[in-house]
Amino acid sequence: MTIFTRIAKGEIPSYKVAEDERFYAFLDINPLAPGHTLVIPKDVEDDYIFHLDEETYAGLWAFARKVAVALKAAVPCQRVGVAVLGMEVPHTHIHLVPLQTEGDMDFRKTRPEVTPEQHKAIAAAILKEYEKL
Ligand code: AMP
């Protein structure tokens, strides 16, 4: 079982920002910017997004769109950037990153310090916006 499956099951703690029956979104623990969110299918552990069946693939992006709308409402930003890498965790996930500049999307940059209290507050703010949608 991957670490992200265990997060979706609640066996490992995470800062949840949105959830439905099949998909789960939570804050990246080492964010490129405060509010950096990961969106995952709960039950599909394949590590390559283009291996997903068409229905799951479309559902994942539809869920990610809603999360991005909530994220932008909760975290002031120019727009929400999207990336799919998967070099580290072998469980399909979409990165949603609140951007002020193009450089905020640079995965090699030094990450900002975000305290657990800040993570908690940001996650709660995004979840609140998500629940309005
Ligand atoms: P990648 O697989 O290259 O797309 O990167 C995996 C991302 O998952 C990285 O940005 C990590 O900071 C993030 N990550 C790894 N473990 C956790 C965790 N337990 N909770 C939240 N984010 C995580």
Per-residue pLDDT reduced to its tens digit, 39-97: 999 999 899 999 999 999 999 999 999 999 999 999 999 999 999 999 999 999 999 99
**Ligand 1 atom closest to the CA of 88, numbered from 1:** 2
CB of 3 closer than 6 angstroms to any ligand 1 atom: yes
Q: Which whole number is the average pLDDT over 99-123? A: 97
Q: Which residues are annotated as catalytic?
A: 93
**DSSP character at residue 24:** E
The CATH code of the domain that includes 82 is 3.30.428.10
User: Which H helix or E strand runs over 71?
Assistant: helix 54-74
Per-residue pLDDT averaged across 113-131, rounded? Answer: 98
pLDDT score, position 45? 84
87 CB-near residues (< 8 Å, 6+ apart): none
What distance in angstroms lies between residue 93's CA and the mean position of ligand 1's atoms?
Answer: 9
Query: pLDDT at residue 22 above 90?
Result: yes
- Tell me the pLDDT band of 118, cut-offs 50, 70 and 90: very high
Alpha-carbon distance of 80 to 75, in angstroms, equals: 10
Q: Is the pLDDT of residue 32 over 90?
A: yes
Structural domain of residue 41, as residue ranges?
Answer: 3-132
Percent of the residues in the chain that have a pLDDT greater than 90, as a whole number:
99
Is the beta carbon of 58 within 6 A of some atom in ligand 1?
no
Number of domains in the chain: 1
